[in-house]
Amino acid sequence: MKKTKLLLLLFTISLAGYAQPDKTLWYKKPAQYFEESLVLGNGKLGATVFGGVQSDKIYLNDATLWSGEPVNPNMNPEAYKHIPAIREALQKEDYKLADQLYRKIQGKYSESFAPLGTLYINFANEDKAQNYYRELNIGEAVSKTTYEIDGVKYTREYFVSHPDQIMIIKLTSSKAGALSFDVKFNSLLKNKVTANGNLLSVNGYAPVKALPNYVNSPNAVVFDESKGTRFTTLAKIKNTGGSVLATDSTIGIKNGTEALIFVSIATSFNGFDKNPATEGLDNKAIAAANLNKAFAKPFLQLKQAHIKDYQTFFNRVSLNIGASQAPVLPTDERLRRYAEGKEDKVLEVLYFQYGRYLLISSSRTNGVPANLQGIWNPYMRPPWSSNYTTNINAEENYWLAENTNLSEMHKPLLGFIRNASETGKITARTFYGVNGWTVAHNSDIWAMSNPVGDFGNGDPVWANWTMGGTWLSTHLWEHYIFTKDISFLKNEAYGIMRGAAQFCQEWLVPDKNGNLVTSPSTSPENKYITSTGYHGATLYGATADLAMIRECFEQTIKASKILNTDVEFRTRLEQALAKLYPYQIGKKGNLQEWYYDWEDEDPKHRHQSHLFGLFPGNHITPEKTPSLAEACRKTLEIKGDETTGWSKGWRINLWARLWDGNHAYKMYRELLHYVEPDGVKTKYARGGGTYPNLFDAHPPFQIDGNFGGAAAVAEMLVQSDENLIRLLPALPDDWSNGSVKGLCARGGFEITMTWANKTVKSITVYSKKGGQTTLVSGSKSKKINLKAGQKLNVVL
């Protein structure tokens, strides 16, 4: 009897999420909205699980399924001829004319990430379920749903395997013969569904054009049977007991006990420069091969291979920020409670690790990085096309890649940068009249690099921005400096970095005082008010441009020196760097966003691009440039803390770089403010926040806030440059005691440490490639020099 009670207690504890509370999202009811669902992915195949009782709905996505086809970057071949007239207008301080003329430097919109379709599992049960429970275990990347009907327990288990490139759904009933269901598929894309025995086959294609959701057009979505990316979805049932049933468009099981549903997906996408209709991969053959290989394997073997592969990355980092007194509640209830100002360190750790989970799950396809929604999108015209928005969002997705020990997940972005540098060479010549390469603020799977706006219909405040390539190129250096992979720097990164720097060097022009500035220029999505009252976007010498160029030049110069190459070009960069228009501190003590000390049209604007040098850049610091750091602080104070999700994620990192842990923590808490699903506003919703499934609420959902928030936790604990590692630089008072394992630092180092009363108690440093650094903790510092593969316990 005692043994039975113990087993029941253990089951109850496990059910309530006690087993791994900082690694488990769980709920007591099915998802009704997308923002309540649980997402799975293997870096290519994405699944959004609702966990319904009578009908389970699963959105399916493939990272490579987009509208469109390879872009023609030479779409506005004489755009550059308008640059002199814009510069002349700016020299005359005619900003209205400059705004009008800048519209001539525009091209097409980006394409959109497409929704592959929805898999439905419809059950024969009609009675109401009891003891309903669903979870996502981010420690294993496995989701589970359980409930009881008439004394029969039903269990579903879901995972998406990277090793086997397959989704597995396991369905069981505790009573023999009690499992009956059918499987069907719907899609917003053009498709044909067939069923044969236990196999459901879907073949279709994406649109050749899908305009952004903010563009009003009668032809917003265009299908052409001879164009566009093809896709195949296969679903096959392996059953234990019962009989297999099929119609012309469904498959199912009647009176079974256990069943496995294998879901295989493939597309014809064959690279950014290959026509997916005429030069595409054989999606039918690939989907069938993956399905057949997985179908032949036992379930346990598939699951173990999936977990082993996933945990190779996830288990590298563990975090403890002290004991929590918060009760164990469903995740949505935890969020509501937390929004009332109550303590919940478990939730704070869960959110951090969930960001890492999402990156592993959405970023493992070469040249195809996580988009605005990761890889989870049910809409034909998703918010902002679910594209790659390079004036912050695409980069913010990858701020946690290196420092939270997920360097491999950075590679899809790095591959995309390589692709964009190819189309960007033509954009540089035809839109701007210079060499090198660049990207404007929107891109897509086809590495589109031109400014958007539909050839003159876009406001320059968002349509015309030139620094996408400049910002993106800094990720190449970051990957090198964290990994010390000299082969990567030499053979892959340097040439692309050089091209980005060349664009900037040739794009710069002297101002009236001989300083180098960009002209024309904008500051992402923000407007100024001139002394005469004009509200505009186009100017010369925007601080954000120059901040990104500084970082790009400094990194390219360093890379050139490390590789001992390109001396003449390096000299030109050094000369240009010395002549850049310097940072200016405004009359309010703020870091000026504009060349002149103008007012902002929106003083609390969500973008803070001119603070780039503080973060994600590294050339403004409280130690090296205290006056500029203080001006950044003043800017943040003026902007305030209420902002959108991704912007809040960025500001937490900025406050961390100012070594203000308590302010960073305040905003981290605000990032986790509960937001009702489906855009419903309540007292919990304050600008950005978090949906019940821990998705970031921009609003609507954007994944960059998740990634920015997770990266900020790492920045609060460890900051670094090429020569120094700073420990606990922005530790909040609420995290006075804790430990972390596996955070990475520049120079190729890995940090494990414990702390108590905000003081480091133990530290272990592991060196991947060997090298020297200085550890700093408060007033203490110590130089260390490690060999490759050496692990050292350090006493400060």
Dihedral sign, CA of 600, 601, 602, 607? Answer: negative
Residue 203: beta bridge partners? 192, 232
Q: Is residue 510 reached through a cis peptide bond, with omega within 30 degrees of 0 on the bond before it?
A: no
Specify the pLDDT at position 279: 98
Q: Are the C-beta atoms of 372 and 702 separated by less than 8 Å? A: yes
Q: How many residues does the chain have?
A: 796
**E strand or H helix that includes residue 784:** strand 780-786
Coil, strand, or helix at residue 669?
helix
What is 568-626 written as a DSSP string?
HHHHHHHHHHHHBPPP-B-TTSSBPSSSS-PEESSTT-S--GGGTTTTT-SS--TTT-H
Specify the pLDDT at position 681: 62
Other Cβ atoms less than 10 A from the Cβ of 288: the count is 18
Block mean pLDDT (10 aa), the chain, length 796: 39 46 96 97 98 98 98 95 98 98 98 98 90 98 97 98 98 97 98 98 98 94 98 97 96 97 98 98 98 98 98 98 96 97 98 98 98 98 97 98 98 98 98 98 98 97 98 98 98 98 98 98 98 98 98 98 98 98 98 98 97 98 98 98 96 98 98 87 69 96 97 98 97 98 98 98 97 96 97 94
- The tens digit of pLDDT for each residue in 165-175 reads 999 999 999 99
Q: Which residues, 6 or more positions from 641, have their beta carbon under 8 angstroms from its beta carbon?
A: 648, 651, 666, 667, 670
In the numeric block, which tokens belong to residue 67? 């509208």
Specify the pLDDT at position 13: 38
Specify the pLDDT at position 683: 60
Phi first, then psi: give them for residue 47, nearest 5 degrees.
Answer: -130, 135
Nearest by Cα to 636 from 596, 676, 615, 608: 608
Q: Which residues, 6 or more positions from 153, have their beta carbon under 8 angstroms from its beta carbon?
A: 146, 147, 173, 174
CA gap 64, 105 in Å, rounded: 29
Specify the pLDDT at position 4: 39
pTM above 0.75, yes or no: yes
CA gap 717, 749 in Å, rounded: 14
